[in-house]
Amino acid sequence: MICIPITARSAEDTVSEMLSASKYADIVELRIDYIPELQNAETCIEESLKRKTKPVIITNRPEREGGKFNGREQDRLHLLQKAIELGADYVDVEYDSIKQITRRNSSKIIISHHNFKETPHNLS
């Protein structure tokens, strides 16, 4: 399976890059944490999901886990919840935030944890 991440900084560029990547990828990951303004990120989610031709993963990675999102946690989670409500195929949610996300449809949840210091001893 080939997944191509999209790290564009605007909704227009994200949709354009997503459509191009979809020619080669089995699935596309939209890194909305690269979009600097919340309203633009929400527009990006809406437009991308309307125009997708392949399954989409929506990721909004916070800085603490190696991402670019540096705003309020409630705003970050709002965007992920919005992606679920709009029918994203997959939403990538950090392990420490999963309890704050409500799944209301067929979106699948990818639970992530990024530890840049060591490999955990117990992965079960």
Paired tokens of 121:
């001893």
- The structural domains of the chain, ordered by start, are 3-112 (3.20.20.70)
Note the pLDDT of residue 115: 63
Note the pLDDT of residue 123: 61
d(CA 103, CA 87): 10
102's enclosing H/E stretch is: none
Paired tokens of 95:
């392990």
Quote the pTM value. Answer: 0.89
The pLDDT tens digits along the chain (124 residues) read: 999 999 999 999 999 999 999 999 999 999 999 998 888 899 999 999 999 999 999 999 999 889 999 999 999 999 999 999 999 999 999 888 877 788 778 899 888 866 666 776 776 6
Q: Given CA atoms 16, 27, 54, 83 in this order, what sign does their dihedral have?
A: negative
Paired tokens of 105:
């449809």
CB atoms within 10 A of CB 74: 8
Note the pLDDT of residue 43: 94
In whole angstroms, what separates CA 81 from the centre of its chain?
10
